[in-house]
């Protein structure tokens, strides 16, 4: 007997740039994600000194340009989500559909109409939209002309964008998040901050300036949202990686404490508590931040204090092990940050270590620290699915993964955690963020498309589709 509340928001999650395709239609201009080449080396390429945001079709494939062509299939896809019984669906708005260059004064009506249609389609089935205002992309122009989020002007551009979408959709959409995985810039500022080595991403002064600008922008979104309707719930979204010290050596224990303060808590502290944490000076010191260059005003600090977020959305895929004394040599992979191998854990085909207990710990750590509602807005197993000749996919490995993580959430609820909902990542197969591959699949729905862009784009239900339908129907009882 599990204690999922009756109102528990079961659903699934996607992001515009990874599934919509239609990258240059109906007034949309390129986003930073449209300039990311496909392939396992994607993150290395964008992290190299020579990368300059140029879209060069003679050198690279750009799988995000076509995505899974959700732009033209969303009705069919949302109908499938409805069949599974989704209570909510988390998706993001492509900023460059609404403000194609980011610095435009007027929004693009065709872009706004597209999300009207998506939202209305969800509501037709009583699926509550959960919207990420900015998921790992900004209009390319803001990265090229303004150098990304280190530039304070982006606050104004984001405020305009956020206000436009909150006003337009706020009557139909209650749940919002301001920035996807805001803390991921510790490792890859290109994704969330639109900064690359040639525009200063290797200098943490810029990264922390970009965060400050995003914190202010996020607070402004909360302000505007609550002015439109005090019942709107506007959350932050962080990438949570439960970390363990490799052994009981106090040196490793201390390093693990710092890792948590830096990666897991720094951004969330500001967005939830409304002020920078006590560890800020230590963190600035460790990351060589030149404080004399940071632009942070009293008005900013007041805004942060006045408009904290309403809830904490977070993604959880894997845990990591901190080992500064080099007990283990073998490295692990993981969602942007792997650490060393944990000998107790199995791993995915991409080397991400599978740790449901780590999710229970994450939920307890976050709730214990903030006592604000939590929402697991991403979780899942990226795996290679092998369809038979009838496109049947027996993805028992995915079912096992999700079952164990749902059990961990149930246990955390029993521990006293207030958990609002669960939206597993990539509920329909889509382009991987870190590798640009289609073959790294998370979905309950298979999309016939391969890494070379070949395939019919037809949708097929996997075994996990029926399983998740039953989970939702029984409010998490039948796992």
Instruction: Using the minimum distance from each CB to ligand BG6, give the nearer residue, 323 or 437.
Output: 437
Instruction: Using the minimum distance from each CB to ligand BG6, give the nearer residue, 71 or 136.
Output: 136
Residues contributing to the site for ligand BG6 (CB under 6 A): 15, 18, 136, 180-181, 239, 315, 335, 378, 382, 425, 432-435, 440
Q: How far is CA 371 from CA 294, 303, 364, 410, 421, in A?
A: 31, 21, 10, 17, 16
Instruction: Using the minimum distance from each CB to ligand BG6, give the nearer residue, 4 or 311.
Output: 311
Instruction: Using the minimum distance from each CB to ligand BG6, give the nearer residue, 17 or 164.
Output: 17
Instruction: Using the minimum distance from each CB to ligand BG6, give the nearer residue, 121 or 181.
Output: 181
- By the 8 A CB rule, do 231 and 186 touch? no
- By the 8 A CB rule, do 314 and 374 touch? yes
Active-site residue, 378 included: yes
Q: How far is the CB of 249 from ligand BG6 (least distance, A)?
A: 31
Instruction: Using the minimum distance from each CB to ligand BG6, give the nearer residue, 203 or 429.
Output: 429
Supply angle C-alpha 38, 348, 352, rounded to 5. 75
Q: Which residue is nearest to ligand BG6 (CB)?
A: 434
Chain-centre distance of CA 389, in angstroms? 34
Q: How far is CA 151 from CA 38, 97, 209, 441, in A?
A: 28, 21, 8, 35
Q: How far is the CB of 14 from ligand BG6 (least distance, A)?
A: 9
Token pair 């962080």 is found at: 238
Work out the end-to-end distance of the chain between its first and last CA atoms, rounded to an integer number of angstroms.
11
- Catalytic residue chosen out of the listed positions 20, 137, 378, 437: 378
The DSSP bridge pattern shows strands 445-447 and 459-461 to be: antiparallel
Q: How far is the CB of 106 from ligand BG6 (least distance, A)?
A: 29
Q: How far is the CB of 168 from ligand BG6 (least distance, A)?
A: 24
Q: How far is the CB of 68 from ligand BG6 (least distance, A)?
A: 13
Instruction: Record the tokens describing residue 303, joined without a space.
Output: 């805004």
Round to whole Å and give the CA distance between 2 and 133. Answer: 33
Nearest to 238 by CA among 98, 335, 361: 335
Long-range contacts of 341-346 (CB under 8 A, 24+ apart): 342/244, 345/319
Around Cβ 109, how many Cβ atoms within 10 Å? 12
Q: How far is the CB of 275 from ligand BG6 (least distance, A)?
A: 26
The residues that are catalytic are 378
């Amino acid at each position: 007997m599990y204690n999922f509340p009756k109102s528990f928001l079961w659903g699934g999650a996607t992001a515009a740039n990874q599934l919509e395709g239609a990258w240059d239609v109906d007034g949309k201009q390129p986003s930073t994600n449209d300039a990311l080449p496909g392939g396992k080396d994607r993150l290395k390429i964008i992290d190299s000194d020579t990368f300059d945001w140029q879209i060069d079709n003679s050198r690279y494939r750009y799988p995000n340009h076509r995505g899974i062509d959700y732009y033209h299939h969303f009705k069919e896809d949302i109908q499938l989500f409805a069949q599974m019984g989704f209570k909510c669906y988390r998706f993001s708005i492509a900023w460059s559909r609404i403000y194609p260059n980011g610095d435009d004064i007027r929004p693009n009506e065709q872009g706004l109409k597209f999300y009207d249609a998506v939202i209305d389609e969800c509501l037709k089935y009583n699926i509550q939209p959960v919207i990420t205002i900015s998921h790992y992309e900004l209009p390319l122009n803001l990265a090229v002309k303004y150098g990304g989020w280190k530039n304070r002007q982006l606050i104004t551009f984001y405020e305009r964008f956020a206000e436009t979408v909150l006003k337009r959709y706020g009557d139909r959409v209650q749940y919002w998040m301001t920035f996807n995985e805001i803390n991921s810039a510790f490792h890859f500022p290109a994704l969330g901050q639109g900064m690359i080595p040639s525009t200063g991403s290797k200098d943490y002064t810029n990264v922390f300036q970009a965060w400050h600008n995003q914190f202010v922008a996020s607070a402004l979104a909360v302000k505007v949202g609550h002015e439109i309707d005090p019942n709107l719930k506007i959350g932050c979204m962080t990438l949570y990686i439960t970390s363990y010290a490799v052994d009981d050596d106090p040196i490793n224990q201390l390093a693990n404490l710092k890792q948590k303060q830096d990666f897991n808590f720094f951004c969330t502290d500001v967005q939830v508590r409304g002020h920078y944490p006590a560890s800020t000076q230590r963190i600035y010191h460790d990351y060589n931040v030149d404080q004399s260059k940071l632009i942070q005003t009293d008005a900013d600090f007041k805004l942060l204090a006045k408009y904290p977020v309403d809830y904490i959305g977070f993604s959880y895929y894997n845990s990591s092990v901190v080992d500064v004394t080099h007990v283990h040599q073998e490295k692990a992979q993981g969602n942007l940050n792997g650490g060393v191998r944990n000998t107790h854990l199995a791993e995915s085909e991409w080397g991400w270590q599978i740790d449901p207990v780590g999710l229970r710990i994450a939920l307890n750590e976050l709730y214990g620290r903030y006592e604000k509602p939590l929402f697991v807005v991403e979780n899942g197993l990226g795996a290679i699915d092998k369809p038979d000749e009838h496109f049947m996919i027996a993805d028992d490995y995915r079912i096992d993964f999700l079952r164990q993580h749902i059990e961990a959430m149930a246990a955390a609820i029993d521990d006293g955690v207030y958990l609002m909902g669960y939206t597993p990542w990539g509920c329909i197969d889509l382009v991987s963020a870190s590798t640009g591959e289609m073959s790294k699949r998370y979905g309950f729905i298979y999309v016939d498309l391969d890494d070379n862009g070949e395939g019919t784009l037809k949708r097929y239900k996997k075994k996990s589709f029926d399983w998740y339908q039953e989970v939702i129907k029984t409010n998490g009882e039948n796992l």
